[in-house]
Structure 1
Amino acid sequence: MADDVEVTDTISAITAVVWTAGRPASWLPTITRLLEVPDVAEVVVATDEDLGLPAHPRLRTVLASRFGAVVHEVGSGGENPVLVVTGPVLVPRDGFETSRRIMSEDLRVASVSFLCNAAGHLSFPHRNLHRRHAIEGHDETSLTRLLRSRDPIVRPAPIHAVAGPATLVSRDTIVITGGPSDAFADNPELAVVEMLLQASRRGMKSMLDPSTFVSRPWEDQRWDEAPLELRANVVRLRERHPFFPEIFRDQARDATSPLAVVLATAAAKASGLRIVIDATCLGPVENGTQVQTLALIDALARRDDVRWVGAGLAGPIPRYAEKVLSHPKVRVIATDGLRFPASTPHADIVHRPFQPAKVPWANWRGVGDRVVVTIQDLIAYSIGAYAAERGHWRRYRDNIRDGVSLSDGVVVISHDVAEDLRQERLPVVDERVFVVENGTDHLTGDEDESFPSELSARGWVARRFLVVLGANYSHKNRDLAIRVHKLLREKHPDLGLVLAGVAVPEGSSRSLEAAEGFGADGVISIPDVTSEERNWLLRHAEICLYPTSAEGFGLVPFEAARFGTPTVYTRFGPLAEVLPGLPVAATSWDPAALARACDQILASPELASEQVAATLKAGTTYQWDTTAEQLVHAYRRLLSEPPRVEPPRKRPSPDNKAGAKIAGKKIRNKE
């Protein structure tokens, strides 16, 4: 038997039914706008008086006294879904393509509602809070374009009650329900709600299109509470539908409901993300973690889709951080250890961009809608020597496991680290892991420099030298650097070696360095250097020797190249990933192999230049602006999905207080 259902890829156009009431002049902008929208095939204006509208090929005026009868006649008599307009509204000029697609892809979709400045629980950008205007700087058209253009594309959300001055209703819904009931003729918007409750009894569903915004004008209309904010209306609906409003109330209030999730994502896309960064690593010493954290804050603050960035500090602002933290979009937040104070402004995201510690999860979830942690590497997770006391290693590993299992998202700084997570079978699914590489352009090579005082004291004013930069963790292999230096001295007797970096209390290479350097000439160890001294060392070294055997990314070669200095390293893991195709690299950690690579560069200035150029070229892939862009994408992705852990219950805030004070009362506007 032939299939009697025609399948088509086309999406039906829309027929709009405008039920005019009140001041006729207040409806003219609504009708005019609907006639401008390309996917509105016909505008049917139902009125009980002559509005004096000019003739238009897509405009039809009908004299009618019954709202339900008009909707039923138009819907059942045509093939298109019907945009039921019950109040003055301005729809986006770009039309309803996404809403029509939602309806065409699933015949069970009875209706599609839209974001609106005054639509009760569908109010935007703050649920249950009416505003006279859209988001500052936008009208309904520009806001809709922004919502549709910024990632991610947010899936529609099921809703248990429709709201707003305009609702797209399927033809089937109108046919099988008979249209809006005359029992609610005194309130057309409420009548649409009741009609969709009837449809829900048959298994049909109402959806919210989170990419389309409509404006409910304040002028000439002076709208009051949304129908479902009035107890009398809720009682009327409950008499017909006893299951209402229990679930509706949960959806209107619950911060983890599908409705809340899509509204939060849309708000972040439209108003800009509110981000709190755990910057408690910013202390007196500036190492790699501090450099990365500041570069990230700076890059995020520069983005126009980020509203503000909070930086949580456990102490005073270090000198090296003053410039970044003085940015007008950066808010410095004084923390008590890792805990944020109650005065911390609510954020979309709380992100710790370095290794998880013992995170106060309840405190952080009270501050942000989603919590994100970065795993820079699993070095200390795998190396027990870095644990100071018995039990510390287990606690560190537990903190890493808690970080990946309890956070909403995990950022890793290379694909190599992502693979380590898989190998260790840490409790995180791939869908919540985001590979976001560090940027490498935080230094330009033009920064101020300062000659290290220790070198001056040793008389190294004009001496050629290699530099090893970084703390003396055992995996940095500084003792191997001393052995490499000994081999090189056979051909380059004037060559010195500078080991610059802090000494760590546990798991250091101090003893190994002492054994290798015993009686050796031309080796200087500087326990710490300022930013300016680091710049001098990188600018004036012959080679930056980087014999590390464990990294998450590897910033040092890029930093050295900014100052024109080549780096010699062993090609492995993340360094092979982010620095492919360099002319010179050792294939093992054999000091002889590293020495041969150094000797090649020392013997050929041209090869040294090629090494620097290749490093800088590789670095063009890794820019901090790109890092921030990828993080913002990850943040919004996470906002579009439910949180892993329900946030703690708290007192209602202006974002979720039901009801708005309207029509002569104070209207709360919250940015």
Structure 2
Amino acid sequence: MNFHIDGIIFSLQQHGGITVYFRELLSRLTPEYNATLTLEQPALQAVPLDAFPAVRQEQRKARFLERLRPARSLKNSRSQLFHSSYYRRPERASQPSVVTVHDFAFQRVIGGLGAVRQHWLMRTAITQSQHIICISESTKQDMLELIHPRPDQTVSVIYNGVSNLFQPLHIENSWNDESSGRPFMLFVGQRGGYKNFSLALRALELLPELELHCVGGGSFKPKELAGVSESIRSRVRHLGFVSEEQLNVLYNRAYCLLYPSSYEGFGIPVLEAMRAGCPVVSIDCKAVVEVGGEALCVSASADDSAALAQAVLRLESATERKRLRALGFARSEQFSWDRCFEQTLAVYRTF
């Protein structure tokens, strides 16, 4: 096997679901696979040079409009297979290629000129690939509706995994913030638009005994907390970027993961929380429900803060909390990066 992975995502996204996906795949490769990763510099420090010792790396200076151009071929070999990390086609049109489709957030919920550009890039990469990997059935259905692949293209659903670092810990006084002593809900990742952070804040107003702690997604912007009363602001904290080990501790301490996103391609934090024993409260988002199944505590309404708060209050029942934790452990066991890797290798071997 001899293949080329285009690492453009590491120049576009330092932290996020897609970088997690490719880090997990690359870290499992051994020398026998003869893989080469190309990186456009600067790579946002997302990939240390020794991160994947079994994978050759080619460092390249980024060209003007690099994101919009086909990925350059390897310098000294003609790889048998090309796999872009973020919707690029290979420079040689005759080269067999695989594309992983993560979501259609731009087209479904973001919109604007960015959606036009993103759709063109995705459509070009998808229609020129021989094999299309979708990370969920939800993403596959979006792809079939919005892209219309050719009959001769193969489409596979290969689910993401969840890191083994997430696990239950024996922590005294869990659920409580160490400084305030109040239990806190956890909000992980980006907060803009369809992530529904504003809905989470409105629900928090109805939950006076709880705090809301945010991880990742950058510092709060003034408009995010505009119009929010001081009594609510005092119960909202931003913890910045944390390591996986620190995030596992937070999941173990949290009253719940609050995940009110209205659109996802998968939803890795849902599985992370479940694996750590943290109940997950969400709205009725198709991909999130596909991943979390019956282990989710789902709000009765997608845009009603009172319904979201009521879903959180269901966790006051020790019986319900124990039931959801048990279901969450069982559900998270159905997903693994090892399985994702093996299924992806099986796709590579078809070429």
TM tier, shorter chain?
A: 0.7 to 0.9
The question of whether the paired residues in 2 share the 8 Å contact of 1:298 and 1:324 is answered with: no
Give, as a single letter, the amino acid of the residue that structure 1 aligns with 2:188: L
The equivalent of 2:60 in structure 1 is 335
CA distance in 2, matches of 1:433, 1:613: 33
**TM-fit CA distance, 1:595:** 1.2
**TM-fit CA distance, 1:286:** 2.1
CA distance in 2, matches of 1:361, 1:384: 27
Are 1:370 and 2:103 counterparts? Answer: no
Q: 2:23 aligns with which of 294, 297, 307?
A: 294
CA distance in 2, matches of 1:308, 1:607: 50
Alignment of 1:188-207 (within 5 A): none
SS of residue paired to 1:515: coil
- C-alpha distance after superposition, 1:587-606 (max 9, x if no partner): 322222221121121x1344
CA distance in 2, matches of 1:345, 1:613: 50
Q: 2:122 aligns with which of 400, 408, 416?
A: 400
SS of residue paired to 1:295: helix
- Sort the Cα spacing of 1:415 and 1:460 in 2 relative to 1 into closer, same or farther, 3 A: same
Per the normalisation by structure 2, the TM-score is: 0.82
**TM-fit CA distance, 1:278:** 2.4
- Sort the Cα spacing of 1:384 and 1:316 in 2 relative to 1 into closer, same or farther, 3 A: closer
Q: 1:526 aligns with which of 238, 247, 252?
A: 238
The question of whether the paired residues in 2 share the 8 Å contact of 1:474 and 1:509 is answered with: no
SS of residue paired to 1:419: helix
The question of whether the paired residues in 2 share the 8 Å contact of 1:483 and 1:591 is answered with: yes
The question of whether the paired residues in 2 share the 8 Å contact of 1:277 and 1:312 is answered with: yes
The equivalent of 1:594 in structure 2 is 308
- Sort the Cα spacing of 1:619 and 1:481 in 2 relative to 1 into closer, same or farther, 3 A: same
The equivalent of 2:82 in structure 1 is 350
The equivalent of 1:474 in structure 2 is 193
The equivalent of 2:107 in structure 1 is 381
**TM-fit CA distance, 1:376:** 0.6
Alignment of 1:398-437 (within 5 A): 398-429=120-151, 431-437=153-159
- Sort the Cα spacing of 1:520 and 1:482 in 2 relative to 1 into closer, same or farther, 3 A: same
The equivalent of 1:122 in structure 2 is none
Give, as a single letter, the amino acid of the residue that structure 1 aligns with 2:156: F
Are 1:626 and 2:339 counterparts? Answer: yes
The question of whether the paired residues in 1 share the 8 Å contact of 2:200 and 2:258 is answered with: yes
**TM-fit CA distance, 1:496:** 1.0
5+ residue gaps, structure 1: 1-272, 448-455, 640-671
- Sort the Cα spacing of 1:509 and 1:477 in 2 relative to 1 into closer, same or farther, 3 A: farther
**TM-fit CA distance, 1:497:** 0.8
Q: Of the two, which has the highest radius of gyration?
A: 1
Alignment of 1:165-244 (within 5 A): none
Q: 1:500 aligns with which of 185, 200, 215?
A: 215
5+ residue gaps, structure 2: 170-176
The equivalent of 1:311 in structure 2 is 37
Are 1:511 and 2:226 counterparts? Answer: no
Give, as a single letter, the amino acid of the residue that structure 1 aligns with 2:84: R
The question of whether the paired residues in 1 share the 8 Å contact of 2:41 and 2:61 is answered with: no
- Sort the Cα spacing of 1:326 and 1:582 in 2 relative to 1 into closer, same or farther, 3 A: closer
Alignment of 1:237-252 (within 5 A): none
- Structure with larger RCO (C-alpha < 8 A, sep 6+): 2
- Sort the Cα spacing of 1:580 and 1:522 in 2 relative to 1 into closer, same or farther, 3 A: same
The equivalent of 2:273 in structure 1 is 560
- Sort the Cα spacing of 1:469 and 1:324 in 2 relative to 1 into closer, same or farther, 3 A: farther
CA distance in 2, matches of 1:428, 1:294: 30
- Sort the Cα spacing of 1:330 and 1:538 in 2 relative to 1 into closer, same or farther, 3 A: same
- Sort the Cα spacing of 1:275 and 1:515 in 2 relative to 1 into closer, same or farther, 3 A: farther
CA distance in 1, matches of 2:221, 2:119: 22
**TM-fit CA distance, 1:583:** 6.2
SS of residue paired to 1:593: helix
**TM-fit CA distance, 1:343:** 2.3
- Sort the Cα spacing of 1:446 and 1:277 in 2 relative to 1 into closer, same or farther, 3 A: farther
The equivalent of 2:172 in structure 1 is none
The question of whether the paired residues in 2 share the 8 Å contact of 1:546 and 1:569 is answered with: yes
SS of residue paired to 1:633: helix
The question of whether the paired residues in 2 share the 8 Å contact of 1:570 and 1:594 is answered with: yes
The question of whether the paired residues in 2 share the 8 Å contact of 1:469 and 1:501 is answered with: yes
The question of whether the paired residues in 1 share the 8 Å contact of 2:4 and 2:37 is answered with: yes
- Sort the Cα spacing of 1:315 and 1:461 in 2 relative to 1 into closer, same or farther, 3 A: farther
SS of residue paired to 1:466: strand
SS of residue paired to 1:628: helix
**TM-fit CA distance, 1:627:** 1.1
CA distance in 1, matches of 2:44, 2:110: 31
Are 1:570 and 2:283 counterparts? Answer: yes
Amino-acid identity (%): 23
**TM-fit CA distance, 1:294:** 0.7
CA distance in 2, matches of 1:597, 1:326: 42
Alignment of 1:134-149 (within 5 A): none
- Sort the Cα spacing of 1:287 and 1:517 in 2 relative to 1 into closer, same or farther, 3 A: farther
**TM-fit CA distance, 1:430:** 7.2
**TM-fit CA distance, 1:429:** 3.5
The equivalent of 2:161 in structure 1 is 439
Alignment of 1:3-22 (within 5 A): none
Give, as a single letter, the amino acid of the residue that structure 2 aligns with 1:499: C
The question of whether the paired residues in 2 share the 8 Å contact of 1:568 and 1:585 is answered with: yes
Per the normalisation by structure 1, the TM-score is: 0.45
RMSD in angstroms over aligned alpha carbons? 3.4
- C-alpha distance after superposition, 1:477-504 (max 9, x if no partner): 0111111111111xx2xx2111222249
CA distance in 2, matches of 1:294, 1:446: 24
Give, as a single letter, the amino acid of the residue that structure 2 aligns with 1:333: E
The equivalent of 1:134 in structure 2 is none
- Sort the Cα spacing of 1:384 and 1:557 in 2 relative to 1 into closer, same or farther, 3 A: closer
- C-alpha distance after superposition, 1:185-223 (max 9, x if no partner): xxxxxxxxxxxxxxxxxxxxxxxxxxxxxxxxxxxxxxx
**TM-fit CA distance, 1:362:** 1.7
**TM-fit CA distance, 1:393:** 3.0
**TM-fit CA distance, 1:574:** 1.4
Give, as a single letter, the amino acid of the residue that structure 2 aligns with 1:349: L
SS of residue paired to 2:278: coil
The equivalent of 2:179 in structure 1 is 460
CA distance in 2, matches of 1:311, 1:446: 35
